[in-house]
Amino acid sequence: MNHRRDFLAKSLLLTGAAGLAASGLRPGAAGAQTAPRPIRRSERYDDSFIAERKPFKWPGNNTLAVWFAPNVEVWQYDSASGVGITPNPTNHVPDVFNYAWREYGMRVGLWRIADVFDEAGVKATVALNSQVCDVYPRAIEEMKKRFWEFMGHGTTNSNNLAGLDPDAERGTIRSILKTIEQATGKRPRGWLGSGLIETYNTLDILAEEGVVYCGDWNNDDQPIAMKVKSGKMFGVPYCNEINDIPLYLRKGYTGEQYLRSVIDQFDVLYADSRKQPRVMGVPLHPMISGQPLRIKYLQRAIAHMKEHQGVWFATGSEIIDAYQQVA
């Protein structure tokens, strides 16, 4: 038995040494590592913990601001890019199945959502692809009649800002804002990137062009001041955790599960707002939440919110204007 134990011990020692040799490490150096690279941070805002901030109230002595952000978008027929209801692994075009599904949102779903908003007496803050102005001018007029706000959301969701150099990005953003201004009569004060994608220069360019708030930065429950080279810029919570794309499409939630998620989000933010005011964004897509099987869950979520005192249903601009008065 002693000989057998000695043999096993020597075998394990030799095996371990061989493994270290094969990995290029010295015995005793397996846990060593090089010095870590310093963390690169965005440097776009100051560190601030919400419990340490000065309390304030929203207009009307309210504590929770809620804004609804339907994404009103168009896509290229000869492109496979864009959110889909069915896989297209070979990027075949035309992608009729997904293209037609998206078009349903503009033809039917958006107006089903509009009826719910009209009934509840709330206004939307539309994340608008600028080419909607060219393709669906009558839709723009209908949204204007409801006094909805429009924020820039790229040209089309078949494209985004990724990889653009500063001059090309500036020209793209300027054109988007101008197109929306000409169609709606107001220059957008807000922005939501297509796919929430930015470059390192996006916020600076947006601020130069007069945009004052952005929904891309979901790092807080309150608006936050963003650092830009000129002008002003604020991040507004868009609350991507309750976005209908990841919940319904990526996680496969049922309507009841979606409703539970939105209500849970609201209930906690509402309770938290007694100590510090909060913002709740509700991202929506007409081809998803505007479907017949899902619309009642949006309706029920809004009804739940309206049962509570101290809730302010606002637009993105109204939230930022109020925040600048009290921050």
What torsion do the CA atoms of 255, 257, 260, 264 make, to the nearest 10 degrees? -130
- Give the pLDDT confidence score for residue 60 in this predicted structure: 97
User: CA 67 to CA 33: how far, in whole Å?
Assistant: 47
Name the β-bridge partners of 280. Answer: 66
pLDDT at residue 28 in the model: 52
Question: Across the chain, what does the average pLDDT equal?
Answer: 92
Q: Specify the range with the lowest mean pLDDT, choosing from 6-15, 200-209, 229-238.
A: 6-15
Distance of CA 26 to the CA centre of its chain: 48
pLDDT (average), residues 37-59: 96
Structure tokens belonging to residue 83: 């959110």
pLDDT of residue 13: 45
Record the pTM.
Answer: 0.89
pLDDT tens digit sequence for 291-314:
999 999 999 999 999 999 999 999
pLDDT at residue 5 greater than cutoff 70? no
**Residue carrying structure tokens 């062009």:** 209
Residue percentage of the chain with pLDDT more than 70: 90
d(CA 260, CA 301) in angstroms, rounded, equals 9
Parallel/antiparallel/unpaired status of strands 224-225 and 234-235? antiparallel
